[in-house]
Amino acid sequence: MKKGPTLLLGALLALGLASADSAAAAQPQAPIHFGAIGWESGAFTTELLRVIAERGYGHATDTLPGSTVSMEVALARNDLQVIAEEWAGRSPAWVKAEQAGQVFALGDTVKHAEEGWWVPAYVVEGDTARNIKPLAPQLRSVEDLKQYPQVFRDPEAPGKGRFLNSPSGWTSETVNSQKLKAYGLNDLYSNFRSGSGAAMDAEIGSAIRRGQPVLFYYWNPTPLMGRYKLIRLQEPPFDAQAWATLTDAANPAPKGSSSLPAKLSIGVSKAFRDNYPDLVKVFEQVDLPIDLLNRTLASMSEKRTPPREAALAFIRDNPAVWKAWLPADIAAKVEASL
């Protein structure tokens, strides 16, 4: 009974509700708090890192839920110590905290992450097994879209094609709207904003399952990319000046360019960087091959595997990938724990 208040106090300290920095400094053995990321690649990476921290280094870990921005703010206050997939530099909250030296982006976890415009492969190549004819055999680049508005017919605006944009309010929505102008597709395609991420996924998934043509904005690494055969439409190479015209919704004459290459990192708080130098070194080495990651995510989402199990299976099946990040003795410990 007497221990009650002490335990509670300890829990409060561990949660970082009290003065965050001193708490972490005084109790390096408190569990490491990871942000509980909701999307698949983030959830998977979180569990992968937790397994390494727990089984390789013997640190306790747990996760705390939150939206992207609230997790970034929590990281700056050291209420969270690790965000396993951070699209560093994209949100003002992150940029501010990074400039103040409160958070750090470690490593380059998924190389060749990208965003762009995609169509299912059967639209270009056909699919004899499903008896689908190639409706747009010449489609390679965004330029070729001019020939095919009738393939991606928009039932709400007959005579136009439909480009499935991201929901209003996403940064990418502005970029895509400007790209439509830049590629001269504004009069041929309606700029269809999908309203919410869930609605967008449902529409793309439904179209692919029915073998219908669909033209959409999407990004990598995602289960969708590993699950279906998709073709990314070629765009002009990345050009910083053109990119500036694309991100500015008010620019009347945008110029075409591929999107800014995405850099995925592991976000950590300052206190974590100071207290866990061994893990920091590992996090800087993390490198997930994108094709393998996409395939892993696809099977995870298809079979509805919990991320923890998917991470353990990944560790079991792909020792070569993760052993490269770890010192040999730690790697042996992780392997022995399976």
Partner 1 sequence: MSEGFPQALQFSFADGINRLVDWLVLNYGDHLRAVSDQLLQVLVGLENLLRLVPWWLLLLLVGLVAWHATRSGVRSLVLVGLLALIGMLGLWDKLLQTLALVLVSTGLCVLIGVPLGILLAARPLARRLIMPVLDVMQTLPAFVYLIPVLMLFGLGKVPAVFATLIYALPPLVRLTELGLAQIDPSLLQAAHGLGASRWQRLRRIALPLALPSIMAGLNQSVMMALSMVVVASMIGARGLGEDVLAGIQTLNVGQGMEAGLAIVALAMVIDRISQAYGRGRR
Task: Enumerate binding residues for partner 1 (CB under 8 A).
Answer: 155-157, 164, 167-170, 192-196, 198-199, 202-203, 205-206, 209-210, 212, 304
Q: 159 or 327: whose CB is closer to partner 1? A: 159
Q: 118 with 233: CB under 8 angstroms?
A: yes
Name the minimum Å distance from CB 139 to partner 1.
22
Name the minimum Å distance from CB 255 to partner 1.
24
Q: 199 or 332: whose CB is closer to partner 1? A: 199
Q: 157 or 332: whose CB is closer to partner 1? A: 157
Closest C-alpha among 134, 129, 113, 149 to residue 294: 113
Name the minimum Å distance from CB 70 to partner 1.
13
Q: 188 or 208: whose CB is closer to partner 1? A: 208
Q: 122 with 72: CB under 8 angstroms?
A: no
Q: 179 or 193: whose CB is closer to partner 1? A: 193
Name the minimum Å distance from CB 65 to partner 1.
15
Angle, vertex CA 133, rays to CA 128 and CA 138, nearest 5: 120
Name the minimum Å distance from CB 170 to partner 1.
7
Place of tokens 């169509």: 119
For 51, residues 6+ apart whose C-beta sits below 8 A from its C-beta are: 308, 311, 312, 315, 334
Asked whether the bond before 221 is cis by omega within 30 degrees of 0, the reply is yes
Closest C-alpha among 161, 126, 127, 157 to residue 142: 161
Query: Residue 33's Cα: distance from chain center in Å?
Result: 20
β partners of residue 130 = none
Name the minimum Å distance from CB 190 to partner 1.
10
Name the minimum Å distance from CB 193 to partner 1.
7
Q: 120 with 214: CB under 8 angstroms?
A: yes
Q: What phi, psi does 205 have (nearest 5°)? A: -60, -40
Name the minimum Å distance from CB 142 to partner 1.
22
Q: 104 or 117: whose CB is closer to partner 1? A: 117
Q: 12 or 202: whose CB is closer to partner 1? A: 202
Burial zone of 265 (CB within 10 Å; 0-12 exposed, 13-18 middle, 19+ buried): buried
Place of tokens 């094609």: 161
CA distance 18 to 79: 9
Q: 57 or 228: whose CB is closer to partner 1? A: 228
